[in-house]
Amino acid sequence: MGRYIVRRLIAAIPVLIGLSILLFAYIRILPGDPCVAILGQHRTPAACAALREHLGLDLPLWQQYISYLLKTLSGDLGSSVVNSQPFLGEFLTRFPGTIELTAGALIFSIGVGIPLGRLAARKVGGWVDGLITGVSLFGVSIPVFVLGLALVVIFGVILGWLPTQGRIDARARFDATSGILLIDTLFAGRLDLFVDVVRHLVLPSIALGSIPLAIIARITRASVIEVANEDYVRTARSKGLKEKTVDNRHVMRNAWLPVTTVVGLQIGGLLGGAVLTETVFVWNGVGRWVVDAIQNHDYPIVQSTILVFAVIFLIVNLIVDVGYALLNPKIRYQ
């Protein structure tokens, strides 16, 4: 197992280097001038030339990339060209909000998607199966921002049941420590604020988790149907085992593997979808920060954020692969 993890980590190095090259090249062809973003109306040809020399933008592209790669490997992910704030500090300030939103969406998608998939598999061919399949197809098809705006209008404006902006009531007086408000309010004993944070989290989590929910439900249904038709499952039933025992010990134990794979892959989609979701719900996280950076042509922030998200995605995939052995002892990594 240890050797497998080391090999996976080594294999991730060329992937990250290739991604850094693509990001570096893509950022350079995007419209916008850092001189305009930094100096604004006070820019002059001389000031812009001095700024480009200071930022190293007057060097050949290959030298710029080597400098960027060496800084990244040393832990220097750059600074904003708008306010000169280091990327890492700003990222760590906003990332807890994105973690909270992603966790809420993941819990929603798993907590609803897996039971729906299992129910559809039990009622395969019936109207319940058709209804769940149709709903999951609708969930995959509808864009996140469209569903988000619909939820805002229906549950926020028309019904007035849930808040539609921010992570907590703007009038609340509370000092967060970890930045994850669910944890901070709970450990502080502020149950009123904890409930308020949950209410703020409901609509964004539903909007962001709708597509993963539909995918998880469909994969769960297909996996359960496939495993339920295996010989060892029919043998277990023929021995007179209770249906619940057969389902939990034989069917789901083997059906978890493809479901786990899909769940791990959806985390990357959730991080990407958070950009639109945080914008719709005015959520103070990394996604909204990236949107602001794009609008301000603050491309170093965009570049570093995508690179960090890629690292997170690779780590999650590694954790999912290692988790296979825990779910199914037949799997061994040589």
Residue 123 or 56, more confident: 123
For residue 287, being part of any structural domain is answered with yes
Q: HEC states along the chain?
A: CHHHHHHHHHHHHHHHHHHHHHHHHHHHHCCCCHHHHHHHHHCCHHHHHHHHHHHCCCCCHHHHHHHHHHHHHCCCCCECCCCCCEHHHHHHHHHHHHHHHHHHHHHHHHHHHHHHHHHHHHCCCCHHHHHHHHHHHHHHHCCHHHHHHHHHHHHHHHCCCCCCCCCCCCCCCCCCCCCCHHHHHHHCCCHHHHHHHHHHHHHHHHHHHHHHHHHHHHHHHHHHHHHHCCHHHHHHHHCCCCHHHHHHHHHHHHHHHHHHHHHHHHHHHHHHHHHHHHHHCCCCCHHHHHHHHHHCCCHHHHHHHHHHHHHHHHHHHHHHHHHHHHHCCCCCCC
For residue 256, being part of any structural domain is answered with yes
What pLDDT score was predicted for residue 2? Answer: 67
pLDDT band, residue 202 (cuts 50/70/90): very high
0.75 surpassed by pTM = yes
CATH number of residue 323's parent domain: 1.10.3720.10
Q: What type of residue is 200?
A: H
Q: Give φ, ψ of 94 to 5 degrees.
A: -95, -20
Alpha carbon distance 145, 208 (integer Å): 9
pLDDT band, residue 333 (cuts 50/70/90): low
What pLDDT score was predicted for residue 203? Answer: 92
pLDDT in tens, 82-112: 777 888 888 888 888 888 999 999 999 999 9
For residue 45, being part of any structural domain is answered with no
Report the percent of the chain where pLDDT is more than 90: 4
> Do 211 and 107 form a contact (C-beta atoms < 8 A)?
no
| pLDDT, mean of residues 166-177 | 78
pLDDT band, residue 204 (cuts 50/70/90): very high
For residue 281, being part of any structural domain is answered with yes
pLDDT in tens, 311-329: 888 888 777 777 666 666 5
For residue 129, being part of any structural domain is answered with yes
Residue for token pair 């990250």: 16
pLDDT band, residue 40 (cuts 50/70/90): low
For residue 17, being part of any structural domain is answered with no
**β-bridge mates for residue 86, sequence order:** 79
Alpha carbon distance 108, 203 (integer Å): 11
Q: What type of residue is 155?
A: F
Report the percent of the chain where pLDDT is more than 70: 88
**β-bridge mates for residue 79, sequence order:** 86
For residue 18, being part of any structural domain is answered with no
Residue 281 or 71, more confident: 281
For residue 49, being part of any structural domain is answered with no
Q: Give φ, ψ of 30 to 5 degrees.
A: -70, 150
pLDDT higher than 60, residue 334: no
pLDDT higher than 70, residue 330: no
Alpha carbon distance 62, 68 (integer Å): 10
Give the chain's mean pLDDT. 80
pLDDT higher than 70, residue 39: no
CA distances from 125 to 121, 129, 175, 197, 213 (A): 9, 6, 53, 41, 21
What pLDDT score was predicted for residue 181? Answer: 84
Domain span at 176: 87-327
pLDDT higher than 60, residue 57: yes
What pLDDT score was predicted for residue 299? Answer: 78
| pLDDT, mean of residues 116-141 | 83
| pLDDT, mean of residues 240-245 | 72
